[in-house]
Amino acid sequence: MFPLPEWAPNVHPLIVHFPIGVLFTAALFDLVGLVLREQAFLRRAAMMLYVLGGVAVTATYFTGEAAADSVFLPTEANALLTEHSDLGHYVFYFFGGFAVIRIITFFTGLERMFLLRAALAVLGVAGLGLLTYTAEHGAEMVFRYGVGVQAVDSGPAPIAPPSDPMAAGPQLIDGGGWAWKPTRAAAWQEHMVIEGDLSSSSLRGGGEQDGARRGDVLGLTPGTGPVTVWFDHAMETAQIDAALNLDNFNGSVMFVHNLVDVQNYHFTVLTDGEMRLGSSENGDFYIMDTKPMAASSWHAYRVVSDRTHFRAYVDGKLITHGHGDTAPSGHVGLRISGVGTVLLDFMQVVPVR
């Protein structure tokens, strides 16, 4: 691979313009060739440009897949990336297949039939519509939401202090979702649904990180067996932000979302030095992606569930990424199993659509 300029987020934005330019030129040659039928070079040029365009789309597709795993997204751009990615797949299949068809029809001489030639030209123009729509989604990510642009801060919005700290549980957010910064340990018990044995929840000092004090955080100690805790607020899509410290805990901690009941939910779990992303269907686990992940000290976790796309980040870096069936509407919470105490600084959940 050639060296990337240090300001470039990845190679995708550097090459996306190539298939767009080449494929539009190919369609132009096709259309002019319908008028100037005797000019054989127009036919040949269109075929060669469509083949070149197919190769360029393939490179764009694979660099896009890699780009999606390297960028951190502001909340509003999550759904856009999902759509852009789905459209990118269709573009790849379309122009990959179209290049093959053009080679076959050219070398077998079938293209000399005017009707077939006209049909191919029209099909190519239709493909350009799909390409334009895909590129527009990509450009909107960059120019509206600054994806891959260095100056953007995509961290969770600061959680407003609760109006009544004594009553404070999760605060509902305008536009859907909720946020919670623990100020009273008992609020956890009062406001959350708890299934299983939660031995204790207590407020403790969060210690220091990077020279700054974290303030009070919630310590969650499970009893025997797993305990699942969630806020009763069903959502179809979700971006979950939370800060956790697992230094005094030995076991597994799951972010659960799209939770219908304790047997059926999607999750991102931190366990055995790994992060795993998957779902539980009637208690059976299905894993979509697994990556090594050392969870020592405080980390900012972000889990995104957007219909069929699931991503999990640690400190702004994507760790796991998977795809599955459309996740049902469900609640968001934590499922903890093990020995010791999990420290939770805050949790914020917003829909991504």
Binding residues for ligand HEM (CB under 6 A): 9-10, 12-13, 16, 19, 57, 60-61, 64-65, 67-68, 71, 81, 84-85, 88, 91-92, 131, 134-135, 138-139, 141-142, 147-148
**What one-character-per-residue DSSP string does 69-135 give?**
TT----GGGHHHHHHHHHHHHHHHHHHHHHHHHHHHHHHTTGGGSHHHHHHHHHHHHHHHHHHHHHH
User: Residue 60 CB, nearest distance to ligand HEM (Å)?
Assistant: 4
DSSP H/E element including 238: strand 238-245
3-state DSSP assignment of residue 52: helix
Q: Which is nearer to ligand HEM, 73 or 198 (CB)?
A: 73
Q: Which is nearer to ligand HEM, 60 or 252 (CB)?
A: 60
Q: Which is nearer to ligand HEM, 56 or 217 (CB)?
A: 56
Q: Which is nearer to ligand HEM, 12 or 335 (CB)?
A: 12
User: Residue 350 CB, nearest distance to ligand HEM (Å)?
Assistant: 20
User: Residue 299 CB, nearest distance to ligand HEM (Å)?
Assistant: 23
Q: Which of 161-190 are b and which e, b meaning 16 or more Cβ less than 10 Å from the residue's Cβ? A: ebeeeeebbbbebeebbbbbbbbbbebbee
In this structure, are residues 14 and 97 in contact, taking their beta carbons and an 8 Å threshold? Answer: no
Residue 347, φ and ψ in degrees, nearest 5 = -145, 135
Residue with tokens 């990180």: 209
Q: Which is nearer to ligand HEM, 54 or 182 (CB)?
A: 54
In this structure, are residues 230 and 257 in contact, taking their beta carbons and an 8 Å threshold? Answer: no
Q: Which is nearer to ligand HEM, 131 or 256 (CB)?
A: 131
Residue with tokens 């100020």: 183
User: Residue 104 CB, nearest distance to ligand HEM (Å)?
Assistant: 22
User: Residue 141 CB, nearest distance to ligand HEM (Å)?
Assistant: 5
3-state DSSP assignment of residue 226: coil
User: Residue 200 CB, nearest distance to ligand HEM (Å)?
Assistant: 43
In 3D space, the residue among 86, 142, 146 whose CA is nearest the CA of residue 306 turns out to be 86
User: Residue 70 CB, nearest distance to ligand HEM (Å)?
Assistant: 7
Q: Which is nearer to ligand HEM, 43 or 309 (CB)?
A: 309
